[in-house]
Structures are given as structure tokens and as C-alpha cells.
A and B are shown apart, each in its own frame.
Chain A
Amino acid sequence: DQQVKQNSPSLSVQEGRISILNCDYTNSMFDYFLWYKKYPAEGPTFLISISSIKDKNEDGRFTVFLNKSAKHLSLHIVPSQPGDSAVYFCAAWDQAGTALIFGKGTTLSVSS
């Protein structure tokens, strides 16, 4: 069963608007969450992370929000740019601390 779920396979946004990518998880023992961005034919690159002791982390145009009670996190991109068009993966650190557990990804398309 999927422990990290990204229920929207795709999202289309206009340049300058906000992009909100969502992620749900089932294991309440996850204590660290990461977002990765992936362009075609390239490896994923780390974008932003959040510890379970926080509810928000911000880095420039990117903000991640964590709602532990709902087991939900979201990535906000403001303002969205065409260069943000990519696949975004949500990931959680498992209790054994040996491997990240990834969601299936959301493809973001930002149109100019």
C-alpha cells in the first residue's frame, strides 16, 4: 500500500500565479519530508524539506506546509515560472532511516 500519495498526476498553472502541489502520507511516524523536482532525462534534484517539528519552511519562491494531524503536506510556488515546469516528487523518511519513500509525482506545467 502506498505510504506517500500524490493524488494529482498533473497540474496546469499560468505564469505568475500560485502553484499548489499536494501530498498525503499514511505513516504518522514519518519525521522528515522532502520535495524533489525532476526535468525529463535528468535526475531528481532536491528542492525543499521540512521536519515534523515544524509546520512551515520557506525558501525563496517555494514554501512547504505540513499538517501533521491531517497527514498532509503541500508545496506552494509563488510566483510560478515556465522554468518550474517539471515533475515534483514528495518523499518521506522512514523510521529505519535508510531510504526515502517517494510518491508517484505530479507533473506541473506553467504556461506563459
Chain B
Amino acid sequence: DVKVTQSSRYLVKRTGEKVFLECVQDMDHENMFWYRQDPGLGLRLIYFSYDVKMKEKGDIPEGYSVSREKKERFSLILESASTNQTSMYLCASSSRGLTYEQYFGPGTRLTVT
């Protein structure tokens, strides 16, 4: 069964802290993605990666960075958390095949105070 896991379901951090969100997939997928979901704004793509050590900016990369050292793991980093980064963060993965389907993790609800 397809599985995408995220390191935390709920996280509370203080303004200015460095925050790491980890995502692991066990499907040997090439592509991995980070989104944030906010009410009324839908799913917005932050960064994605199509291979180890490769990364591409999505629609809203400002204030974030990513790391992909291993195929199965994709990390999202908030260098200095701010209150406007309070959100639900969703990781997803997909193969380069023809199905286009992305598989999502359960999400991390991050609150920055």
C-alpha cells in the first residue's frame, strides 16, 4: 500500500525558530512535493523535487527551503518561522509514470506564535 508519512501531525513553534518538516515515502517515487493549505486559498505549491539533490521553486517559495539527500526523503525548512507561516503543510509524491496521481501524507498543522 502506498505510504507517505510526515514527521509530526501538530507542531507549535515560536517566531524566529528554525523549523524542519520531514516527509518520507516508501513507493520509490522520483517526484516529491511540499504544499501548504490555507482556508480559501486551496493547495499552494512551495517546492518540488524530481530527483535526489534536485529542487524547483513552486508558487510560494519565499521563506522556505528544501533538502532532498535521499530519494525517499524530502525536507521542508523554515529558516526563521513567522506567524504568517502558520498553516497545514502537506507532502506528496508521484512517479514519473503516466498516472499523474500524487499521493499525499496526512499533513502537519504548524502554528507559529
Contact = CB atoms under 8 A, between A and B. Distances in A.
Interface residues of B, number: 28
Interface string B36-75: 0100111111001010000010100000000000000000
Among B100, B105, B106, max chain A CB count under 10 A is at B100
Contact of A102 (B9, B42, B105): B42
Contacts of B29: none
A43 interface: yes
Contacts, number: 54
Interface stretch (A13-21, A60-68, A72-80, A92-100): A92-100
A34 B103 CA distance: 12
B104 A43 contact: yes
Interface of A: 6, 9, 32, 34, 36, 38, 41-46, 49, 89, 93, 97-100, 102-105
Interface of B: 4, 9, 31, 33, 35, 37, 40-45, 48, 50, 56, 58, 90, 92, 99-107, 109
19 contacts: A9-B40, A32-B100, A36-B104, A41-B9, A41-B107, A43-B4, A43-B92, A43-B107, A44-B90, A49-B99, A89-B42, A89-B43, A93-B100, A97-B100, A98-B31, A99-B33, A100-B100, A102-B42, A102-B44
